[in-house]
Structure 1
Amino acid sequence: MPPPPPEPASGTDRNPGTDPGRSPPAPGATLKRPAMSGPMRGALWMVGAAFAFSSMVGLLRIATEWMHPLQAVFFRNAFAIAFMTPWMLSVGLAGLRTKRLPLHLLRSLLGVGAMMCWFLGLSMLPLGEAVTLSFTTPLFATVGAALVLGEVVRIRRWTATAIGFLGVLIIMRPGVEEMSTAALLVLASAMFMSCSVLVLKTLSGTEDSNAIVTYMTLFMTPMSLIPALIFWETPGLAAIGVMIAVAGLGTIGHQCLTRAMKAADASVVMPFEYLKLPIVAAIGYLFFGETTDWATWIGAAVIVASAVYIARRESRMGVAAAPLAARRSETAIK
């Protein structure tokens, strides 16, 4: 009589983590690690963007002591082209093929306006205060989406936006201190940037990240040349070296930002942008002897809390404000 077949192994005898219907992995085989989630990738990309942009801010303060801020805008864009050249040579014209050229041009116009106001304001304000005021970008985006694009903004988001602008008043202290032109320039930069972010969100849905950054630098370089020529002074080698570093960090920051927006929803990744404040405050203290006063820290806390709440609320309610606004912008320019 043949021996009975062996009994199947019980669940407790099986190797944990293996599929009962599959044979165990061969000796020496490597197990494939699970892919990193989109939100985690987006968060890491945004942390990288925060470090890159914060370092760029410190170098910009040095550069604007050696040349006019509008001249620095031109060099920042011109040298950025050099950093994108290897990618352009590797993909050729096929990598730049797009059906959304008007949106790329619109984003570049908004970007050059934001950059000129930002460089001018940064040259006159303490670093921590300038960066804090730049955090108003999501607040302006909410107002613009409602008033210009007709998006429905309910009472909670309006309340959060109003509270965020209260943070701006805490920093600027109108009536106690004179309203500075530099602070108004930074706020204008935030307004331009809020519109640029809306366009970026819709572009990132279909366009390659490298192509988005390349089109931005190709368009912004000639746009920024005209105002630079008005204040042109031949810079020294040290200034050129600093601006090359600024362009490199700016290119890295925009690459990280674009990939963060591709990987996850803005409500997930944007809170990590606010790491810029402690990083920039440390740079200002260590290298320029600047201290960030109590009003800036309190105002920053109010603005950041408001912006994070708006992003979370949009995500929870399924508003998707940025994509909607950008799609309407695309329709308007066709």
Structure 2
Amino acid sequence: MTHAPNRTLAAFGAVLIYACVIAFTDNYVRVIARDAGLWQFHATRTAMAFAILALVALPLGLKLRPRRPGAVLARSTIHGAAMVIYFGALAFLPVAQVAAGLFTAPIFVLLIQRFAYGRPILGLQILAVVLGFAGVVLVLGPEALSGATFAALLPVISGALYAMGNIATREWCAGESAETILAGFFGVLGAIGLVGMAVLWAFPLPVPEGAEGFLQRGPVWPTGEFLWWTFVQAAGSLLGVGMIVKAYQIAEASRVSVFEYVILPASAAWGFVLWGEELTWIAVLGMSLIVLAGVLIARPVPVQSPAPSPTASRQ
């Protein structure tokens, strides 16, 4: 199938909106985690997101019916699995190590596109990914490289699944509306949340107090603060994830995936504004490398004859 030309600048603008919104809402997960569990959060956020979509679907003319339900469901399942593994790893690994693992996704994007679709890996793309990942390590600190155990591989597996889902957005879900893909993603996460709540209700685990019990906590009576910030998460995620989906629809995954590094400086900026968290000069250097990676990946690529389009069913 023939893709539309890459709209790299527009994709970067969409990723920038995504990063600013998601970085803000994710800073309040620590507040949400004090009162409820991860699974209840996913289920509640999905319910709220669907309510918002239902309210705006007609006025905005949203198209929520998928053209290829199987492809949308498969993509949503892979992205949902990536997020579950990511958050699950947070139960026993440092946040820095988990985040560094997830941000191996651009490397997997290039490898998957090379070996599954026969697309060449250009020198600048390799350099951009190396610089971007080096920047991530500098931002997150040397502890991101410690712990070469199987548990430490889980965030990398999450990054590989995340990369597969990002490629699927363009390769297998072409022609689907951004809101259709968005609804599928939230639907799968909501279903996972309900299953997690049911399991922890039937087989409760010891739950530490406060945010430390986020993963082990089963269903509880929601507080007003939990409901408010979960609603902010739902609304922000609809906008932010909608933007990133649109970005992957209008530009190649290998380009957009590197743009996603911008969420790190955005998160740091919100962390400073909201909680007074300051950056070291090493972190600033890392962010500079991340920006440089984005500039390199956005450089125009010589036009090549199109390769035969794949026919396998994605995700």
**Alignment TM-score > 0.5, same fold:** yes
Look up the match of 2:118: 151
Counterpart Cα distance in 2 of 1:188 and 1:288: 31
RMSD: 4.2
Look up the match of 1:195: 164
State the AA in 2 paired with 1:194.
Answer: A
Structure 1 residue 104 corresponds to structure 2 residue 72: yes
Look up the match of 1:242: 229
The Cα offsets for residues 188-216 of structure 1, whole Å up to 9 and x where unpaired, read as 43322211111112356311222221232
Counterpart Cα distance in 2 of 1:175 and 1:126: 8
Look up the match of 2:312: 331
Structure 1 residue 142 corresponds to structure 2 residue 128: no
Counterpart Cα distance in 2 of 1:75 and 1:65: 15
Structure 1 residue 232 corresponds to structure 2 residue 200: no
Counterpart Cα distance in 2 of 1:128 and 1:301: 18
In the TM superposition, residue 56 of structure 1 has moved relative to its aligned partner by: 1.8
Look up the match of 2:213: none
Q: CA separation of 1:312/1:114 partners in 2, compared to 1, >3 Å: closer, same or farther?
A: farther
Counterpart Cα distance in 1 of 2:39 and 2:141: 25
Q: CA separation of 1:169/1:258 partners in 2, compared to 1, >3 Å: closer, same or farther?
A: closer
In the TM superposition, residue 185 of structure 1 has moved relative to its aligned partner by: 5.2
In the TM superposition, residue 71 of structure 1 has moved relative to its aligned partner by: 3.3
Are the equivalent residues in 2 in contact too, given 1:83–1:248 (CA < 8 A)? yes
Counterpart Cα distance in 1 of 2:97 and 2:148: 13
Counterpart Cα distance in 2 of 1:202 and 1:154: 17
State the AA in 1 paired with 2:174.
Answer: G
State the AA in 2 paired with 1:143.
Answer: L
1:301-312 → structure 2 map (5 Å cutoff): 301-302=288-289, 305-306=292-293, 309-310=296-297, 312=299
Question: Tell me, what secondary structure is at the counterpart of 2:27?
Answer: helix
Counterpart Cα distance in 2 of 1:249 and 1:127: 22
Counterpart Cα distance in 2 of 1:164 and 1:95: 35
Residues 63-72 or 47-56, more deviating: 63-72
Question: Tell me, what secondary structure is at the counterpart of 2:118?
Answer: coil
Q: CA separation of 1:271/1:74 partners in 2, compared to 1, >3 Å: closer, same or farther?
A: same
Are the equivalent residues in 2 in contact too, given 1:127–1:281 (CA < 8 A)? no
Look up the match of 1:60: 29
State the AA in 2 paired with 1:142.
Answer: L
Look up the match of 2:244: 257
Counterpart Cα distance in 2 of 1:175 and 1:96: 40
In the TM superposition, residue 252 of structure 1 has moved relative to its aligned partner by: 0.7
The aligned length equals 290
Counterpart Cα distance in 1 of 2:256 and 2:225: 36
- Pick the aligned partner of 2:182 from 204, 207, 213: 213
State the AA in 2 paired with 1:276.
Answer: I
Counterpart Cα distance in 1 of 2:305 and 2:126: 14
Unaligned segments of structure 2, at least 5 residues: 1-6, 201-216
In the TM superposition, residue 300 of structure 1 has moved relative to its aligned partner by: 4.5
Structure 1 residue 78 corresponds to structure 2 residue 59: no
Look at both structures and tell me which one has the larger radius of gyration over its CA atoms. 1
Counterpart Cα distance in 2 of 1:275 and 1:228: 33
In the TM superposition, residue 155 of structure 1 has moved relative to its aligned partner by: 6.6
In the TM superposition, residue 260 of structure 1 has moved relative to its aligned partner by: 3.3
Are the equivalent residues in 2 in contact too, given 1:73–1:115 (CA < 8 A)? no
Counterpart Cα distance in 2 of 1:75 and 1:95: 23
State the AA in 1 paired with 2:175.
Answer: T
Q: CA separation of 1:43/1:295 partners in 2, compared to 1, >3 Å: closer, same or farther?
A: closer
Q: CA separation of 1:219/1:68 partners in 2, compared to 1, >3 Å: closer, same or farther?
A: closer
Counterpart Cα distance in 2 of 1:303 and 1:207: 31
Q: CA separation of 1:304/1:121 partners in 2, compared to 1, >3 Å: closer, same or farther?
A: farther
Question: Tell me, what secondary structure is at the counterpart of 1:244?
Answer: helix
